[in-house]
Structures are given as structure tokens and as C-alpha cells.
Amino acid sequence: MAYFPFFVDISGKKGLIAGGGRVALHKLQKLLPYGVKLTVVAPRFTEELLKTALENDICLISRAFEPGDIKGMGFVIAASDDQGTNAAIGALCREQGILVNVVDDKDAGSFIFPSLVKAGKLSIGISTEGASPGVAASLRSQIASLIPADMEEILAYLDSLRALAKAHIGDRDRRSAFLKEMAQTCMDHNMIFDAQETMQRLAGYMVDGQEECAGRAGSVLLVGAGCGRQDLVTVRGLRAIRRANILVYDDLIDTGLLDHTSESCEQIYVGKRSGKHSMQQDEINALLVKKAREGGLVVRLKGGDPYVFGRGMEELMALQAAGIRVEYIPGITSCIAVPAFAGIPVTHRGVSRSFHVITGYTATGERDKNLAAGPDFAQLARLEGTLVFLMGFAHLTQIAEELVFAGKKVSTPVAVIHGGFDSGVEIVRGTLADIAVKAAQACIKAPAVIVVGEVVALWS
């Protein structure tokens, strides 16, 4: 048998489900978004099926299936708990030319149920022709992760643009280019535009000639790569990486994320680590503006979260000043994730009701020569919550000494944690009195997160 994936309008059509159990409910739930008029016949129904039927105005017939039940039906689903009954329903429907699906017996039916992805007017059906429903379900999950959260609203908006474009853009090629750009922009940013912004974008395609349209700037997405392994990036962040025309990335990311870009994507490394800068910040800002003006989607991929000591706001402000559209996608930050990998929560009831994140960098991006002129250790020492130091590993000795000098108890628990891009986490525990010596003896590598507080002693 060879199954062709027709998309058929079943809104308002009559359909019958024979069965009142879990499988019948599953089939019913798949069909509900498509506006079909369903009848369900079975001697007994599960409570969930009864509830669903009541909420969705579905006709229930509480008895065993009878041959006359298929009269006038556009399709039938044989989903009872008895395989013999299902097979008999399948044979009866085929004799009368009625489409029938027989659960767990594709040869007894005339159509099969795909694994479905549904978001507004978007319908995606996946089928292995019954060879492996598990594969279809797995692919469905992967595809669903690529769809923007507001897909239903986006499609409704894009649908409304078709008539607007036809009324204002006479040239067919230019009209097609406008609709394509709007579709990609809405997908890239998971958003729609108000009437004013829509008309401004439309105006660029209403003028004579193509050169005006060719000069339209692209957009930038600031994306947090997460902390460490590539599977810690957000679903939305991964979607952006896969759609990027240009990827500008930092040092502290899992390079496995680069494999998710398209073959045509231009990849530009601008890493900064331990004082070794491949590019200064103002140069990175200028690069982002330049690449955005060339058109397409620029993804600025930053380790952890762009707004947690990642200078993401500086880049966003530079782009906005240049008139470039820019959006932000958060990432999992190391100040929470790295301690968690080592079994240390930054807060815990009865132990720490707050946590504070401190950096070893100044506002200009250079390491402090004198930490006493940087963080206010007197204030930090008075805090009752957890202290988390990022980018301060080179100053571990000074940090410990300054906290003790400012009044923190020398017995305060401290952990130094290095989390790599594999499954390993290196951790050294001690106190303010001995953590610097212990970290040196253990040869802990940078980058490392320093955690100061009683939460360190919760688990070891």
C-alpha cells in the first residue's frame, strides 16, 4: 500500500468513532481542532472521554456498534477494545466505499492516522505507513520544537497581509518578496507587527524599481547559548541558530551548536577569554551593525545569558542607535547552572533566601587591579544570602581575604566549580580560610564559578 498525504477539509463533515476507551479518546482529541461533527458509539466510555464529549458537543451512543451507524458518515474510526469487531467494521466500510481507520491493523483499513502537529492553520502530518509509530512521534516532537510559540497568531497575521499586499503592490515579484520577508521576520522574532509598522514595511515595496527593496536592513537576535553543553540552549534559541544567515559567536559556547547552522551560514568568531580578545567590544558592535545592514538574520550567540555580565545590553543599544531591529532570547546563566551541576542550590529554605552575583570585571571590561576599588566587600560581607562570583577565579585569594577583612567568618563555606562542555564538573570545597590553597592543589581550571555561603555545605 502507498499512502499519499492529502489534506482534506473535514470541517462540518460527519465522522464516527467506534470505541469508548483510551485509544478512541486519543483519536477524538486529534480530530477536535478540525471542526468535524463526531459521533462516538460504545457500550462504555471512560470518564475523560465523557468529559471531552460534553465540552465539545459530541454525540455519544451508549451501546455496541451496529452496521447502520456508518450511514451518512464521511469516515469511520474502528477503535474498540475488540480486534474482531474493529476488523468487521473495517470490512463493512470498505464494502460501502467509506474511508475507515482500523487501529493497530492498517491492512484492515483504508487510511491511517498521521502523527500530527497543529498550530492554528498550520498542520503537519508525519507517517511511516505503520512501520514505526515511535519514529513518527519522535519526529513530531522535533518538528514541534521548531515552531514559534505564537504560530497561530503569526499565521493569522500573515494571512491578513495577502489582501493588503495585493491591493498596494502591483508587481507580482515584489509582492511575493514582501510576503516572504514578512513571513521570515515574524518567524525569526516570534512576533507580529501593528498597523503602523506593517504599513512602513509595505511602503518599501510599493515604490518603483527593485533597488529600494534591496537596501533593506536585516535584523539581529541576541541569543543566550546556555551554560556548557549544547542541549542546554533554549528551544527558541536553537530555532534562531538554525535560521541564521550570519552567526557571530563567543568563546564559552559548546561548538556543537555551530553544527545546527545552515550550510550557507557565515560563522564569525569574536571570543574574549582571560584577557585575550580576538575583537574589542566596540569592534563587535560595529560588526553586528555592518552585517545586519547587509540583510538577513544575524544571530549573536553568547555563552550563558547575554544580560548577565555578557554585555548584551551594550550590543542591543548600539544596534538600536543604528536603526537595526534587535531582539533578545535568554539563556541559562552559569551563576545558577554551574553550582546546580555540582549539587549546590543558590537558595534553600531556611539557609539562604537570596543570592547575589558579582563579577571580577570593571565596567570597561578590564580586570580590576585592586579589587578593593571594585566590589564593596563591606557591603557583601553583611549580606545573609549566597554570593556567586563570576570571572573572578584569578582573584580567588583576594576575594577570600577581602571578605574576611570585611567581617565574613573565616569558617564560611566556599566552593570553586569548573563546568565543562562534557558531563564532568570539577569542584573544590573549603572555607574562606583555605579555599585558595585547596583550589590551587586541585588544579582547578578557568572559567570557574565561586560560591560563598552556607548552601555549599548542604551536600557533598
Active site residue 272: yes
Residues 298 and 288 sit within 8 Å (Cβ to Cβ): yes
Question: Grid coordinates standing for 53?
Answer: 464529549
Can you tell me whether residue 368 is helix, strand or coil?
Answer: coil
Q: What is the DSSP letter of 374?
A: S
**What is d(CA 14, CA 12) in angstroms, rounded to the nearest whole number?**
7
Residues 301 and 331 sit within 8 Å (Cβ to Cβ): no
C-alpha distances (whole Å) from 314 to each of 24, 185, 198, 233, 310 are 55, 23, 28, 22, 9
Q: At what angle do helices 172-189 and 151-168 cross, to 10 degrees?
A: 160
Bridge partners of 224, per DSSP, are: 302
Residue type present at position 147: I
Q: Which listed residue (250, 302, 305, 408) is catalytic?
A: 250
- Torsion (CA) 277, 282, 285, 290 in degrees, nearest 10: -100
Residue carrying the nine cell digits 566556599: 414
Residues 400 and 414 sit within 8 Å (Cβ to Cβ): yes
Q: Which listed residue (105, 272, 368, 434) is catalytic?
A: 272
Helix (H) or strand (E) holding 51: helix 47-55
Closest alpha carbon to 456 in 417, 419, 425? 417
Catalytic residues: 250, 272
